[in-house]
């Protein structure tokens, strides 16, 4: 069955370290998204991509970067982790024609100490 997987599921890192969160989908969806979820803020968009080599900044993109070298993967990199980036991160994907119907991965819980 097609799916979207995130790894790792849990990560503890130190302030200042570079961290990469993986997202892999097998639906062949063109659109991929990264969100962070914090209490009281719902889901906030970090970066998104509408296809290979396409990346765009979301609402809270500072300190994060993404690259899209193939359809299946959109890794999220924290260049220099900060305590404010402690959060739960969700990756999502959607088809071109139903961009707003998004399918979410299980999430990565990141703690920056």
Partner 1 sequence: GQQVMQIPQYQHVQEGEDFTTYCNSSTTLSNIQWYKQRPGGHPVFLIQLVKSGEVKKQKRLTFQFGEAKKNSSLHITATQTTDVGTYFCAGMIYNQGGKLIFGQGTELSVKP
The reply to whether 42 sits near partner 1 by the rule CB under 8 A is yes
Those residues with Cβ within 8 angstroms of residue 34's Cβ, 6 or more apart along the chain or in another chain: 21, 23, 45, 46, 47, 48, 58, 64, 66, 74, 76, 89, 90, 91, 92
The reply to whether 44 sits near partner 1 by the rule CB under 8 A is yes
The reply to whether 64 sits near partner 1 by the rule CB under 8 A is no
Query: Site for partner 1 (CB under 8 A): which residue of 5, 18, 56, 69?
Result: 56
Q: How far is the CB of 33 from partner 1 (least distance, A)?
A: 8
Query: Site for partner 1 (CB under 8 A): which residue of 34, 46, 107, 110?
Result: 107
Per rule CB under 8 A, count of chain residues that contact partner 1: 23
Please tell me the distance from the alpha carbon of residue 74 to that of residue 79, in angstroms, as a whole number: 15
The reply to whether 1 sits near partner 1 by the rule CB under 8 A is no
Please tell me the distance from the alpha carbon of residue 49 to that of residue 98, in angstroms, as a whole number: 14
Of 88, 106, 110, 105, residue with least CA distance to 20: 110
- Enumerate binding residues for partner 1 (CB under 8 A): 35, 40-45, 48, 56, 58-59, 90, 92, 98-107
């Amino acid at each position: 069955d097609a799916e979207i997987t995130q790894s790792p599921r849990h990560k503890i890192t130190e302030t200042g370290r570079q961290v990469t969160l993986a997202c892999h989908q097998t639906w062949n969806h063109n659109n991929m998204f990264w969100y962070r979820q914090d209490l009281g803020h719902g889901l906030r968009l970090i970066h998104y991509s509408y296809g290979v080599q396409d990346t765009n900044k979301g609402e809270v993109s500072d300190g994060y970067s993404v690259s899209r070298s193939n359809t299946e993967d959109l890794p999220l990199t924290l260049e220099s982790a900060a305590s404010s980036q402690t959060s739960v991160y969700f990756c999502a994907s959607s088809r071109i024609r139903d961009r707003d119907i998004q399918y979410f991965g299980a999430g990565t819980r990141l703690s920056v100490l």
